[in-house]
Structure 1
Amino acid sequence: MSRQRGNVEERNAAVITGDIVKSQSLSDEDFSRIIQALKAQLTTYARLYDGHFDVFRGDAFQFVTSHSQSVMRIALGIRLALKAMTPSSDIRVSCAVGEVTFRPSEVKTGTGQAFVLSGRGLDELKGQYVSFQCEYGSLARHTSLLTRFADSHLAGLTQTQSETVLAYLVSEDKNHDAVATSLGKTRSNVTRILNASNYRLIAEYLAFMEQEISTVLSGTTI
């Protein structure tokens, strides 16, 4: 449910808080290129998922979306996009679902449990790149191990694998021919890369998280 007072929105939503890994070691040129790519990804996902975002402190960002069930798809999509870049980069992202109050023009000043959980989750990330928290029920505990496995799996993907898996995930047509066409690669090459990436596991994890979040938000407990 969403309520609006003036330009302040109150709703159940998902918040992603993140930052670029080892940004201080990047050259000015590479950092500028990565920030530009990050903003492009955030803009795309904001358009697709009714989202709003801020980039601040140089290498940090927050993204809020009313499509809470898609929060992990958005977070992992941004991560894959940056891993696919030259130079390849990575981000830490903390995702949370709950109540929020925010101004679309200034997301970073938002309040509410989802903002609290997301910010706290990023502070507590140790040896991981992705975490998920939820204000409702035991969903975070229920899915924690799977998220850690998904996180570890993504960390091991190469630049080419990241690019190809992302192309598969965002493609409306999941046929490998369509993915190959979007990348300018042969079908056999795309199939080989996807299979080596265990892409089905990533897709199944995202589908599972979407279903679990939707179930909780519909009022069903786990």
Structure 2
Amino acid sequence: MIAVLTGDLVDSTAMPLEDYQLAVGIMEKYLAKCQARFSTQGEIYRGDSLQLIFKQPQHAMRAAIELRSLLFCAENTQQPLGITLSIGLGEQLIDGNKPSVSQGSAFTLSGRGLDNTPSGHISLHHESTAFYDALVLATKFLDSVLYSHTQKQAQVLYHYLSMDFPTHTQLAKALSTSQQNVTKHLARIGADLIKAYVVFFEEKLTKESE
């Protein structure tokens, strides 16, 4: 089993040019970061969409949350940058050197799932056991929490995930703020529950892909 993450910028055609260029730059840098961290294959296509292949599917949800948070917390934009994201869990029948020349159920599930995902939200799709139906439901709850975050909270969450759940002191140092401020933000964003979800997702999919 692999995971395919497909994303589409929200209202990209209506963005000011500076915001659009910033959003694409953020996506390009994040694709490179995922390649280094998770050995993914990815590309940006149609100018405002991206697709990432995770041969280790357990990393896909962490990446989706990080990317959404990273875009949303971008500063000096006319409107917060949004992205719609869909993860497909399935097979890869044709293994190309980039997503656009690869095929399999994971790609189909991710692409079709994106078409049915509300703008700015994250969704999960699969063709596996009933357990994954429960994981899909849990993902909907997670998405509801993420969608209510402010830009500052999104920034805190991005660093919390990308630093692999650091202590409050470590996170405060990275964000150049106080430990008390970090503790307040983490409580407001439901960080403990987000961490529990991500850890559970990663542990379950690690076992499934062994």
Residue 211 of structure 1: aligned partner: 203
TM-score by length of 2: 0.92
Offset, 1:139: 3.9
User: Which of 46, 62, 70 pairs up with 2:35?
Assistant: 46
3-state SS of paired residue (2:101): strand
Identity of aligned residues (%): 29
Distance in 2 of aligned mates of 1:173 and 1:122: 28
User: Which of 84, 97, 102 pairs up with 2:95?
Assistant: 102
- Mapping for residues 81-120 of structure 1, pairs under 5 Å: 81-86=70-75, 87=77, 88-100=80-92, 101-104=94-97, 106-120=98-112
Residue 56 of structure 1: aligned partner: 45
The alignment's C-alpha RMSD in Å is 1.6
**More strand by proportion, 1 or 2?**
1
Distance in 1 of aligned mates of 2:89 and 2:165: 29
Mark the CA change 1:93 to 1:172 in structure 2 (over 3 Å): closer, same or farther.
closer
Equivalent position amino acid for 2:30 in 1: Q
Distance in 2 of aligned mates of 1:179 and 1:133: 32
TM-score by length of 1: 0.87
Offset, 1:90: 1.4
Residue 163 of structure 1: aligned partner: 155
Contact kept? 2:69, 2:155, Cα under 8 Å = yes
Residue 132 of structure 2: aligned partner: 140
Distance in 2 of aligned mates of 1:166 and 1:126: 22
Offset, 1:109: 2.4
Equivalent position amino acid for 1:193 in 2: H
Contact kept? 1:128, 1:148, Cα under 8 Å = no
Task: Work out the number of aligned pairs and report it.
Answer: 206
Contact kept? 1:136, 1:216, Cα under 8 Å = no
2:118 maps to 1:126: yes
> Which blocks of at least 5 consecutive residues in structure 1 are unaligned?
1-11
> Which blocks of at least 5 consecutive residues in structure 2 are unaligned?
none
Distance in 2 of aligned mates of 1:139 and 1:53: 28
Which aligned segments of 4 or more residues in structure 1 are displaced greater than 6 angstroms? Answer: none
**More helix by proportion, 1 or 2?**
2
